[in-house]
Amino acid sequence: MAICYVARAKINLCLDILGRYANGYHEIATVMQSLALGDRIFLEAAAGLTLTVEGEPVPEGEANLVVRAARRLAEATGYRGGAVITLVKRIPVAAGLGGGSADAAATLVGLNELWGLGCDTAFLAALGAEIGADIPFCLTGGTALATGRGERIRHLPALPELGVLLLKPPYGISTGEAYRDYDLLAPKWEPVAAAMAAAFDRGAWREALGYCGNAFEAVAFRKHPELARLKQELKEAGALAALMSGSGPTLYGLFPSVEAASRAAQVFSGRDLRVIVTATTAAGLGRREESPLDAG
């Protein structure tokens, strides 16, 4: 019997780039928010480790973050068994939605349960951070301020459920390349994350959304001017806030309800875009009673 986890996508409600560490990584401050949209990961105990991917095309072998997370967990704990893993990939790839990090986090939590390892979240977060800076956030999800390389997490009072309209252009952006392009362009940036987090702390989420801003937008909008136009169209379609997520290129609009987001989605139909309607959620990594056949 396989166990199933939902690995949720994230958006960045704001993202400051504050500096650069000696190892080349960047110091950031970002408020991350989990979405209902998620991949499904099915795990079953086995002697060796195998991964099958359905849905969005991602590498199936050692390059997959699921396999990297599984190998690292086995190595760190000395566990000798394996697992048969099926990844049902729904989150667009290289989109700024953190799908690979979510899958890695779900793998760590799922295998910890399946293999009966008893590792705590802090241990899994430290392992995860070795693989990707966003993985510690994905272990718990919800609404959180992430600092350092993005691996230091402070949970914030949850954003209420809002409708989310995602617009994903027909190309991806590599995260590493986006940070390199940022260094070359070095746009002027006024940090917003601390103010946004303080507003969340006061329970003033509407005020918090007034601080939406992303340091990567200047870089991405210069390379892809149509992204700036799409952001403007999201605002004209009634979004409470519109922004690019992470290193891009996905743009999102936040709407008062899923119904309002669905209505706004009609404006963007028939174009060379992936249009996805989803919602913000306070739920973190979700354990589901589901078989691979249910996942669609």
Ligand X SMILES: C[C@@](CO)(OP(=O)(O)O)[C@H](O)COP(=O)(O)OP(=O)(O)OC[C@H]1O[C@@H](n2ccc(N)nc2=O)[C@H](O)[C@@H]1O
Ligand Y SMILES: Nc1ncnc2c1ncn2[C@@H]1O[C@H](COP(=O)(O)OP(=O)(O)O)[C@@H](O)[C@H]1O
Nearer CB in complex with ligand Y: 3/105: 105
The answer to whether 213 contacts ligand X (rule: CB under 6 A) is no
Cα 43 from Cα 55, distance rounded (Å): 17
Say if residue 98 carries a ligand binding annotation: yes
φ, ψ (nearest 5 deg) of residue 33: -135, 130
Span of 66-74, 159-167, 172-180, 273-281 interacting with ligand X by CB under 6 A? 172-180
Q: Which residues of 156-225 form beta strands (DSSP E)?
A: 163-168, 213-214
231 belongs to the catalytic site? no
3-state helix, strand, coil in the chain (%, to 5): 35, 30, 35
State the maximum Cα–Cα separation within the chain, in Å, rounded to a whole number: 56
Cα 294 from Cα 244, distance rounded (Å): 32
Nearer CB in complex with ligand Y: 99/284: 99
Span of 23-31, 72-80, 107-115, 263-271 interacting with ligand X by CB under 6 A? 23-31
By Cβ distance, which residue is nearest to ligand Y? 100
134 belongs to the catalytic site? yes
In angstroms, the Cα distances linking 267 to 233, 253, 264 are 9, 13, 6
Q: Which of positions 27-66 make contact with ligand X (CB under 6 A)?
A: 28, 30
Closest CA to 265 of 167, 162, 161: 167
| Closest separation in Å from C-beta 34 to ligand X | 12
Q: Is the Cβ–Cβ distance between 239 and 265 less than 8 Å?
A: no
Q: Is the Cβ–Cβ distance between 67 and 108 less than 8 Å?
A: no
The answer to whether 276 contacts ligand Y (rule: CB under 6 A) is no
The answer to whether 94 contacts ligand Y (rule: CB under 6 A) is yes
From the list 16, 39, 103, 134, the catalytic residue is 134
Closest CA to 181 of 132, 220, 130: 220
Choosing among ligand X, ligand Y, none, which partner's interface includes residue 149 (Cβ < 5 to 8 Å by kind)? ligand X
Nearer CB in complex with ligand Y: 147/175: 175
Nearer CB in complex with ligand Y: 138/241: 138
The answer to whether 65 contacts ligand Y (rule: CB under 6 A) is yes
Binding footprint of ligand X on the chain (CB under 6 A): 12, 15, 24-26, 28, 30, 96, 98, 101, 132-134, 149-150, 175-176, 179, 246-247
Residues making up the annotated binding site for ATP are 92-102
Active-site residues, by number, are: 10, 134
